[in-house]
């Protein structure tokens, strides 16, 4: 129930799972576990600036124009986005996989929504952490992002 989530979130605040960012076999930088993690455990919060969708749209254009490439934007709900580009935690380095070992959950803590990354299965030390980005399909658009996760069940694209 919610109280367990709260307790575990508070524990997570005190004792984050040790993780590190390093070069990824999937894309550029990725996030890795520094110790084995048990299925269901909270690993890290995706921390950043909470902004309205309209602001996120403008920033997305600015980031793309300034060559930051795709952005560290994480949608919380239809009106809210967390932007980890300028003020963000290292969870922004987690890559997508079609066979992920983590999942990103939106939890409500004291009335505010937060993004927490949980382990979907037992994770070994030094494994790259991944979750399914669940990007919306860009129907008909030509800017599909080819997926490099390398999983047997890879869908071929991120969007």
Ligand X SMILES: Nc1ncnc2c1ncn2[C@@H]1O[C@H](CN(CC[C@H](N)C(=O)O)CC2CN(Cc3cccs3)C2)[C@@H](O)[C@H]1O
Q: Given candidates 5, 16, 24, 89, which one binds ligand X under the rule CB under 6 A?
A: 24
Closest Cα partner for 145 from 135, 76, 22? 135
By the rule CB under 6 A, 68 interacts with ligand X: yes
Name the minimum Å distance from CB 30 to ligand X. 6
Of residues 25 through 64, those in contact with ligand X by CB under 6 A are: 26-30
Name the minimum Å distance from CB 146 to ligand X. 6
Tokens of 91: 């969870």
Which one, 58 or 68, has the nearer CB to ligand X? 68
Of residues 95 through 134, those in contact with ligand X by CB under 6 A are: 95-97
Q: How many CB atoms neighbour CB 67 within 10 A?
A: 6
Contact between 46 and 87 (Cβ < 8 Å): no
CA distance 115 to 117: 7
Interacting span for ligand X (CB under 6 A) from 38-46, 50-58, 66-74, 105-113: 66-74
Tokens of 149: 């996760």
CA distance 43 to 19: 8
Name the site residues for ligand X (rule: CB under 6 A). 24, 26-30, 68-72, 92-93, 95-97, 145, 147-149, 158
């Amino acid at each position: 129930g919610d109280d367990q989530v709260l307790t575990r979130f508070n524990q997570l605040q005190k004792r984050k799972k040790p993780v590190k960012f390093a070069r990824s076999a999937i894309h550029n930088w990725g996030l890795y576990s520094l110790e084995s993690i048990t299925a269901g455990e909270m690993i890290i919060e995706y921390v950043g600036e909470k902004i309205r969708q309209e602001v996120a749209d403008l920033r997305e254009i600015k980031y793309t124009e300034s060559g930051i490439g795709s952005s560290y934007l994480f949608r919380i709900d239809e009106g809210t986005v967390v932007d980890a580009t300028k003020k963000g935690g290292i969870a922004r380095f987690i890559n997508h996989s079609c066979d992920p070992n983590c999942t990103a959950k939106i939890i409500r803590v004291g009335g505010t929504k937060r993004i927490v990354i949980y382990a979907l299965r037992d994770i070994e030390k030094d494994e790259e952490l991944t979750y399914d980005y669940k990007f919306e399909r860009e129907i008909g658009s030509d800017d599909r992002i080819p997926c490099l996760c390398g999983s047997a069940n890879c869908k071929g694209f991120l969007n």
